[in-house]
Amino acid sequence: MVRNVAEKKYFVFYKPYRVLSQFTSSDGRACLSLFNFPKDCYPVGRLDYDSEGLLIITNDKALNRKLLNPRYRHRRTYYVQVEGIPLQNDLVKLSNGVEINIDGIPYRTLPAIVEVLDREPNLPERVPPIRFRKDVPTTWLSITLTEGKNRQVRKMTAKIGYPTLRLVRFSIEKLNIEGFDSGEIRQFNKEKIIKLLNL
């Protein structure tokens, strides 16, 4: 008996701002159904409605399990625009871990790599853009995590007193969205995506 094994498909998507990381929407918000993905593919994990950047869409359930399993601790790097100019001491707190609230329970984040970017990253314009206020400076940070709690980055920067204004997931391991436009989709073969994800 010959089994019909579905071809594995792998898409890297720059999820735009204000798009749900799911294929259905009960309240009229934009979602993944607006984009031309095969019907048997689903997002690996999620990216918040008000966040942007790298989202993997695939029908490979094994890849999904490996990337979402906390024990593998894959590195995820976010470019984060915060309100204000964090002090070095604040950045050390973020790096060492801060206590945030997850589903009503206090949680201490794992150590992270936190760096101040010396220039604004080369990203597509956000639509609509961040509201500009001449008297309020902003700072771009690179934050690399090995975990993915709900709204974790926003909660971490708020904890040290610097609210997140714009949040873009730039990479997972060595897979990144360098040169992507917002809403752009690129298809990868299995060998390449497995290599870039260090799987």
Cis peptide before 86, with omega less than 30 degrees from 0? no
Question: Active site residue: 27, 48, 90, 135, which one?
Answer: 48
Nearest Cα residue to 185 out of 23, 48, 10: 10
Residue 60 annotated to the active site: no
Do the bridges between strand 99-102 and strand 76-83 make them parallel or antiparallel, or are there none, so unpaired?
Answer: unpaired
The amino acid sitting at 65 is R
Nearest Cα residue to 54 out of 117, 108, 10: 10
Nearest Cα residue to 174 out of 193, 196, 142, 145: 196
Q: Which two tokens stand for residue 144?
A: 């690399």
* Residues 37, 11 contacting (CB under 8 angstroms): yes
* Residues 54, 126 contacting (CB under 8 angstroms): no
The residues annotated as belonging to the active site are 48
